[in-house]
Structure 1
Amino acid sequence: MDAKYDYAIIGAGAAGLQLLLKMIRDPFFKEKSILVLDKDEKSTNDRTWCFWEKGETTWDQLATKTWGQGLFINLEQTIDFKLDPYRYKMVRSADFYSYAKGELAKAENVKWVKDEVVEVNDQDIKGSLDNYQTNHIFDSRIPQAFHDKQDDYHSLIQHFKGWFVKTKKPTFDPETFTMMDYRLKWKDSTSFTYVLPISETEALVEFTLFNDQLLMDDEYDKFLRRYLATYLNLFEYKVEEVEQGLIPMSDFPFHKYHEKHLTKIGTAGGWVRPSSGYSFKNADRYSTMMVENIKKGKRPEKGIATSRFRMYDSIFLNVLSSNNDLGEEIFTRLYTKPDIQSVFRFLDEESSLSEDMKVMFSLNKPQFWRAFMNTFFK
């Protein structure tokens, strides 16, 4: 066992590494010892993060591609939308991990240990290889209560499989991405295809579902093949990489599982917005807030859980849990609004109450109003 660390971060994913980057860049933490624990080397591309931002930011240097315009497609219409002043950005995890490791290598107060955490007891961490002590823990592991109390909350899964395809002939418009294409769906579910063209001959094509039922692995492949053949007229292509994953989308109160010496982060801290599944930019924003809270002597998580937006997410999950087939109509109303920027502000939790009401009223379905009453008065 080493000496006691000031801080320990369990999990070197988007949340853990963004928090670490904020810490090592702030003089306040220069003399603080920081331990990072993860069971993996974080050397492969295990996921792709996408998000929208205004202007130039730190992440531009890591972005594989950015887009200024997008498409929303269903059987009845194809909607073009301009993102300005936003850009939609794609960051591959391998690039992010490499960048983060390069930055932390410059910090003499950080120690990265490849170990799987087995148990946490107050300030003591038990790993599969060693034990560690720290003053405060930032923990990205989902609490067991989330699994034990599934029936008490509205929960869905965003699950997906994507192919990075390369074609011999120009096929894609590299300036326009497809946010959602609902022409191909799995049964009566919220399911769509997502297309991120990197060049005229390269793209990530992903089949995604928002429901509570995972598919057999070959089912995702069937939908990807059908989409490429039917809607892109593609029969000759090479699948260069495969990406697959699932994201829990729930109104479970993750924010209630902080402890005196432990703060939950990432999905475990409620950093994933359940109405969209987006998390990378939240990790950036919430990490900044945590660092400022620590410097002011406050609890790290203070002010991060916003009850207003948690209520909106609960309403959304309430509706889709009982009426999953409504997803296409709901997202159509959102992403075909004349000012898509207002939707981005809403999903980024930057909108005013009056803007929120405009977005909510645009989803004028009786199921939403019943869900609102159930959520507000429960």
Structure 2
Amino acid sequence: MAAGRTETCDVLVIGGGAAGLSLAHRLTENLAATVTLVEPPDGPLRPAERTWCYWGAGTDGLEEAVSASWSVLRVHGTDGRPLTVGPAPFTYRMVRSTDFERMVHGRLARADGARLLRATVESVCDVPGGAEVRCALPGGRFLTLHAQKVFDSRPLPGLPPARTRLLQHFRGWFVRTATDRFDPTVADLMDFRVPQPAHGLAFGYVLPLTPDRALVEYTEFSRDVLTTEAYEAALGRYCRDVLGLGALTVERTEQGVIPMTDARFPRRAGHAVFRIGTAGGATRPATGYTFAAVQRHGRAIAAALRDGHGGIPAPYGRRALAMDAILLRALDTGRIDGPDFFTGLFRDVPAERLLRFLDGTTSPREEWGIGLRTPVRPMLRTAAEVPFLPRRSRPAARTGGTNR
């Protein structure tokens, strides 16, 4: 085995997904320090190409990677009636992982003291003055990196114990239709005109790119994932029977699983080692939204390091997590009807406020007002029950491919 060498840096980020790329990007913007981003080399450990979407207002530094955006959103209830909202000043923005990766890699190449390293991380451990990361390089050599702080975005081997555990799982088709079938100005965020499962909820999701091209997804919030054949059948029915798309070509597919759980994700893996992304609790438990949270969290981490703060902030506050635990339990027990609940929120709450609520950035007063527009009695019953429920471990589904 070839001998290894040792190098040092101030901050080391592990992982080339949304969380790792986002933090590296924010660190090069805000921190006068040496930064190394470690990504897996080409091969099975590299994540597949995927799509991320988020709410944005004004300029946010990601314009170069945004491939499409929508200023009008639509929700279809189970009764088929459409509800259209304008969430100004927000727009719903799509980022393709390849574009985002290209942008961040370019900025790393131009920033003083920043670099990209393609290697497989073998181990991470605390050492005096920081942490040590041992990496296997593509040629078979080993490299040991010493850093003052390490941020690890790699998936956990299993989900922590939880009171409630659902999965947001989906499969999407990038379709091209024989004739113009889409309005590129309107995104269908939740279309509940699909058959609902016995447990949980299901909806269609349509992001039009041109009049004859769109990303069409079938999504479920439920306890277990489906087979690929079941997703394909559901997508076929949705495109044919609900959307009436006629002849179409599937140009590309993507599939993923996002944990929706009130588990307590450990944010530290050592004195100088911190978890980020879904592994660090950045996925909003009740909605699955992640991309916007890792942007906020990345900016907050960069600011904390720049200002010399010892602590690293959490992705969400305790209040948001407590509300999510109640909503998850109410959905899982069937005390509230999922399609009616989400349709009602879009009907009764101003869109801009609702989107901030879904991302966890509303004030207590705003959240109180939103809560009064939900089924109060079942929510109160669930709120009284949740603190006394035990947290249990369960086998973890393989997660990844988040598009939120």
Q: Secondary structure at the match of 1:308?
A: helix
Match of 1:280 among 280, 288, 291: 291
User: In 2, distance between residues paired with 1:273 and 1:67?
Assistant: 22
Structure 2 distance, partners of 1:234, 1:304, is 40
Query: Counterpart of 1:65?
Result: 68
Question: Which one is further off, 203-212 or 109-118?
Answer: 109-118
Percent of aligned positions that are identical? 29
**Does structure 2 retain, via aligned residues, the 8 Å contact 1:44–1:94?**
no
Amino acid of the structure 1 residue aligned with 2:15: G
Instruction: State the match for 1:135 in structure 2.
Output: 148
8 Å contact kept, 1:8–1:137? yes
Q: How many residue pairs end up in the alignment?
A: 372
Amino acid at match of 1:232: L
Structure with the higher helix share, 1 or 2: 1
| CA drift at 1:305 | 3.9
Change (3 A) 1:69 1:295: same
Paired AA for residue 37 in structure 1? V
Does 2:171 align with 1:168?
no
Instruction: Point out where structure 2 has 5 or more consecutive residues left out of the alignment.
Output: 390-404
Shift of 1:55: 2.3
Question: What is the CA-CA distance between 1:303 and the residue it aligns to?
Answer: 5.2
- With over 3 angstroms needed to count, the CA separation of the structure-2 counterparts of 1:219 and 1:86, relative to structure 1, is same
Q: Give distance in 2, aligned partners of 1:357 and 1:159.
A: 30
Cα gap change, 1:44/1:308 in structure 2, threshold over 3 Å: closer, same or farther?
closer
Distance 2:132 2:63 in 1: 38
Q: Does 1:312 align with 2:312?
A: no
Any gaps of 5 or more consecutive residues in structure 1? none
- Partner AA of 1:39 in structure 2: P
Distance in 2 separating the partners of 1:340 and 1:304? 23
- The alpha carbon displacement at 1:70 in A equals 1.4
Query: SS of 1:174's equivalent?
Result: coil
- Are residue 125 (structure 1) and residue 165 (structure 2) matched? no
2:115 pairs with 111, 125, 135, which one? 111
- Aligned residue for 2:124, secondary structure, equals strand
Matched, 1:38 2:39: yes
Match of 2:164 among 154, 157, 173: 154
TM-score, normalised via structure 1 length = 0.91
Tell me the equivalent position of 2:102.
Answer: 98
Distance 1:303 1:239 in 2: 40
The residue aligned with 1:234 is 245
CA deviation map 1:212-260 (0-9, x unaligned): 1110111111111111111222231111111111111211111454531
Counterpart-to-counterpart distance in 1, 2:220 and 2:335? 10
Structure 1 residues 332 and 279: alpha-carbon distance in aligned structure 2, compared to 1, 3 A threshold: same
Match of 2:57 in 1: 54
Q: What is the CA–CA distance in structure 1 between the aligned matches of 2:9 and 2:325, rounded to whole Å?
A: 38
RMSD value over aligned CA atoms? Answer: 2.2
Residue 265 (structure 1) aligned with residue 268 (structure 2): no
Alignment of 1:185-334 (within 5 A): 185-188=195-198, 189-302=200-313, 304-323=315-334, 326-334=337-345
What is the rounded CA distance, in whole Å, between the counterparts of 1:15 and 1:91 in structure 2? 13
Map Cα deviations across residues 261-281 of structure 1 (whole Å, 9 max, x no partner). 011111111111112111111
SS of the residue 2:10 aligns to: strand
Cα 1:215–1:228 shift into 2, 3 Å:
same
Contact 2:74 2:188 in 1 (8 A): yes
User: Distance between the aligned counterparts of 1:299 and 1:324, measured in 2?
Assistant: 43
**1:180 aligned residue:** 190
**Residue identity matched to 2:53:** C
Q: Using the alignment, how far apart are the partners of 1:214 and 1:231 within structure 2?
A: 23
1:112 Cα offset (Å): 2.0
The Cα of 1:377 is off from its aligned counterpart by 6.6
Asked if the contact 1:67–1:89 (Cα under 8 Å) also holds between the matched residues in 2, the reply is: yes
Distance 1:306 1:204 in 2: 33
Moved more, 120-129 or 353-362: 120-129
Bigger Cα displacement from structure 2, 76-85 vs 176-185: 76-85
The range that moved more, 195-204 or 280-289, is 280-289
Residues 1:215 and 1:274: Cα distance change in structure 2 (over 3 Å): same
Q: Which moved more, 1:277-286 or 1:182-191?
A: 182-191
